Structure 1
Amino acid sequence: MRVLVTGSRDIVTGSIVYRALFEEHATAPTPLTLVVGDCPTGADFLARHWAEAVTRLGSKVHVEVFTADWDTRGRAAGPERNARMVASGADICLAFYKRGAGNRGTSNCVRLARAAGIPVTESWESV
């Protein structure tokens, strides 16, 4: 099962991400593949951290990391990365928003996922 993860780089509460991923993991008919960005903080980092921990415990979770070329593409890098993530295919998109943050990248990825027919589950972290 392919799970696209998108979310604010400002998310610090791991439990919001971990809980959603554990729920998908527990009910998935096939092993999980996470489709995630390469941000060193926030939802991207937390999803990759969760996958590493679960794999260490014996469950295989594959991670596909999509990079954004900020140096070359500037502000277009994020939306281009989001489009590649969505185009790679997913069975569900988990979106994690931070209240009080811009959440532009997350909102963009959610719009693309919905347009591609990917079901979206949204969660909010309080300030």
Structure 2
Amino acid sequence: MIAEMIQESFSHVVLVTGSRSWNDEKSMCETFNDAWREWGPENVTRPVLLSGHSPKGADSIAELLWEDAGFEIIPFPADWSTCGRTAGFQRNQEMVDAAQVFREARAQVLCTAFLDLCRRPGCPQRGQEQLMPHTPGHFSHGTIHCRSRARAAGIKTTSVLHPSPPF
């Protein structure tokens, strides 16, 4: 599927990752606008969004923003019924792999990670996984995973902390 998309030559690719609890559209708009300014709006001729296609949270908000702007979206829904608990992590890797293919085809690629705290009650990793020193709690496991995979692949990554996390 991605090989077919490459032939369509997208100029800019934004991989969005974020928690299902993300609800801050304003920060997301600002992040996308910052990317446009950095790229130079005149250079963004055919952008595409790579999204995990969750019906709520960061994916949903990003898809609505891109649809409203008339931009294209490539959804990567997780196959929970086949892959079980690892489906989200497998989907994240597929999105990162796709972003790398687009980058190799000379598209500008950016991973945007919208980070909100893990809200899983009784999470055994609470207090162990921190994004940065002096940041209490730990963040959405899927978002942290996708962000770390993108960074390991050498994809430029912008991390946005929820403006009012429940510390």
Q: Fold conserved (TM > 0.5)?
A: yes
Aligned to 1:81: 91
- After superposition, residues 60-75 of structure 1 pair within 5 angstroms as 61-75=71-85
Aligned to 1:115: 152
What secondary structure, in the 3-state scheme, does the structure 2 residue paired with 1:9 have?
Answer: coil
User: What CA deviation, in whole Å up to 9, does each residue of 1:82-101 have, x standing for no partner?
Assistant: 00000001511000011354
What secondary structure, in the 3-state scheme, does the structure 2 residue paired with 1:88 have?
Answer: helix
Q: Does 1:8 align with 2:45?
A: no
Aligned to 2:48: 33
* Cα distance in 2 between the residues matched to 1:18 and 1:8: 16
User: What CA deviation, in whole Å up to 9, does each residue of 1:19-70 have, x standing for no partner?
Assistant: 2112223443233111111100110001000011112xxxxx1111101011
Alignment length, in residue pairs? 122
Aligned to 2:110: 92
* Cα distance in 1 between the residues matched to 2:69 and 2:38: 15
Is the 8 Å Cα contact of residues 36 and 66 (structure 1) preserved in structure 2?
yes
Q: Please identify, of 18-27 and 31-40, the stretch whose mean Cα deviation from structure 2 is larger.
A: 18-27
Gaps of 5+ in 2: 1-11, 104-108, 120-138
Over 3 Å counting, the alpha-carbon distance change for 1:98 and 1:33 in structure 2 is same
* Cα distance in 1 between the residues matched to 2:147 and 2:74: 18
What secondary structure, in the 3-state scheme, does the structure 1 residue paired with 2:21 have?
Answer: coil
Q: Compare CA radii of gyration and give the structure with the larger one.
A: 2
* Cα distance in 2 between the residues matched to 1:24 and 1:69: 30
Give the letter aligned to residue 54 of structure 2. Answer: C
TM-score, length of structure 1 as denominator length: 0.88
Give the letter aligned to residue 122 of structure 1. Answer: S
In proportion to residue count, which structure has more strand?
1
Task: Show structure 1 runs of 4+ deviating over 4 A.
Answer: none
Larger RCO: 1 or 2 (CA < 8 Å, sep 6+): 1
RMSD over aligned Cα atoms: 1.5
